[in-house]
Structure 1
Amino acid sequence: MRQLVDAFGRRFTMSASTRWTVVVLVVVIAMVVAIWPRDSVDPGSAVNSGIGDPAAPLPGEQTDVAEQDLADARQKAALQPCPPSTAAAGAGSALAGVQVPCLGDGSSVDIASATAGKMWVINFWAYWCAPCRKELPIFADFARAAGDRVKVLTVQGKEGSQNPFLSLNLLIEIGIDLPTVVDTNAAMAAALGVPRVYPSTVLLRADGTVAAVLPQVFTSAYELTQTVNSSLGLDL
């Protein structure tokens, strides 16, 4: 009996960080079924079809998070700054008019301006997506090797965007600090023609036009590099 009492007491003395780590773990386990078939994916189809009501919130998504907990998570994640919106967007930029929040600090990013003049690898992921947690470190390795020749931006997709704390916790857990924006209204995905499948990757030319949309899981930095070279005409 005493052991039960002690265990009960420990349950209610968990730190906020520990409680949220448990939430994230439960969500990831619950969403392992998110490895959908990659053929003929409709960009407008519901990402969580097959797990119940596609309009229903994901586990933990609607939970209130204290502002201090969110601030602490942002500080601990120490994400690289989102690209500044200082350049003139190309006339044909696919992202013209799209504004998204930066996960690292909550600021608004004019994404067409922020990506102008550089080639980009843009990876869409979700905190509950099991393949995403394995793939994100590959993008981090690629970013380190590519340097300034081609930039990497990651995007927490709409499904799961309602609670940025959970997204930050995933990045903290797997040690990823890539610059990240949140596609709260699926505006980026719609503009780029990205299917609502996670993970998905977009290769963007320096003029803002789309070179490739790749709803697939990359298994190595080498595979990603070869794809980038082929689509963007690089030799990394």
Structure 2
Amino acid sequence: MRISNAARWSLAALVVVAALVVAIWPRGGSDEQEVGDYPGAGRSTSQQERRASDSPEALAPLRAEAALAPCPVATGPAPDGSVLTGITLECLGDGTRVDLGGALAGKPVLLNIWAYWCGPCREELPYLQQYADRAGAAVTVLTVHTDSNEANALARLAEYDVHLPGVQDGAVRVQAAVGSPAVLPVSVLIRPDGTVAKILPQPFRSVDEIADVVQQYLGVAA
């Protein structure tokens, strides 16, 4: 069977297109990124709480440099209906386990969900630190790091001069529990009874903006 010149050119064009698709198709690979990379919001995270290489010994100097505030401690069980019931995560600051449902009960809470590679998070976290300093004991501000690379999280917080208490959540359990979208950063306002008042899937641009939404949805002025 003879092939016409037009058919030959069509076949050649298909081969070239296929080669280009193979060349530009994204490869699978490690989900970890070195400090300094900011791929942007919306990247998926791994499904383990933290990397095996992030041992207490490896993290000790990073924790000392970050000097994070202590995580809240549970003084009782989570309230009935709390969205955080049953979620226990590692405290970034010292490696202790934190029962979130119990530890955050009884006070208004601002949870900030972030990752070390998130560019908008870099801009927002210092404002959250300033807000926490301003609000004092009236509102609990807790960061939730949603990438398994705990070492990079600590390095970032030290770089940003942010010392808020935080937990390590590479398995993304908090986002699943509160029903927040798969974007970063996300702030979740939680009532003292453990129910969600508001999910805010966008970065804050000022301390006053944070204060306004907390007052609007949690009734706390700061």
Alignment of 1:115 onto 2:104:
yes
Alignment of 1:232 onto 2:218:
yes
Shift in alpha-carbon separation, 1:100–1:65, aligned structure 2, 3 A: closer
Q: Which residue of 1 aligns with 2:76?
A: 87
Alignment of 1:103 onto 2:89:
no
Match of 1:189 among 156, 175, 191: 175
String of CA shifts for 1:93-115, please: whole Å, max 9, x gaps: 11111111111111111100000
Q: Which residue of 1 aligns with 2:186?
A: 200
Q: Which residue of 1 aligns with 2:10?
A: none
* C-alpha displacement of 1:76: 1.1
- Off by >2 Å, runs of 4+ in structure 1: 54-57, 61-69
Q: Which residue of 1 aligns with 2:35?
A: 24
Q: Secondary structure at the match of 2:113?
A: strand
Query: Counterparts of 1:230 and 1:220 in 2: how far apart (Å)?
Result: 16
String of CA shifts for 1:38-76, please: whole Å, max 9, x gaps: xxxxxxxxx32xxxxx6889xxx9794575441110111
Query: Counterparts of 2:88 and 2:107 in 1: how far apart (Å)?
Result: 18
- Structure 1, gaps ≥5 residues long: 1-21, 36-46, 49-53
Match of 1:166 among 152, 172, 179: 152
- Alpha carbons 1:87, 1:117 under 8 Å: kept: no
Q: Which residue of 2 aligns with 1:156?
A: 145
- Structure 2, gaps ≥5 residues long: 1-32
In the alignment, residue 157 of structure 2 is paired with which amino acid? L
Shift in alpha-carbon separation, 1:134–1:119, aligned structure 2, 3 A: same
TM-score (norm 1): 0.74
Q: Which residue of 2 aligns with 1:130?
A: 119
- Alpha carbons 1:211, 1:231 under 8 Å: kept: yes
* C-alpha displacement of 1:205: 0.3
- Superposed, which structure 2 residues align to 1:60-71 within 5 Å? 64=53, 68-71=57-60
Q: Secondary structure at the match of 1:213?
A: strand
In the alignment, residue 208 of structure 1 is paired with which amino acid? G
- Alpha carbons 2:113, 2:187 under 8 Å: kept: yes
Q: Secondary structure at the match of 1:211?
A: strand
Query: Counterparts of 2:73 and 2:169 in 1: how far apart (Å)?
Result: 17
Q: Secondary structure at the match of 2:187?
A: strand
In the alignment, residue 92 of structure 2 is paired with which amino acid? L
Q: Percent identity?
A: 41
TM-score (norm 2): 0.78
Q: Which residue of 2 aligns with 1:42?
A: none
Q: Which residue of 2 aligns with 1:74?
A: 63
- Superposed, which structure 2 residues align to 1:29-48 within 5 Å? 31=39, 34-35=40-41, 47-48=42-43
Q: Secondary structure at the match of 1:171?
A: helix
Query: Counterparts of 1:63 and 1:128 in 2: how far apart (Å)?
Result: 19
* C-alpha displacement of 1:184: 2.6
Query: Counterparts of 1:188 and 1:56 in 2: how far apart (Å)?
Result: 14
Aligned residues: 188
Greater Rg by CA: 2
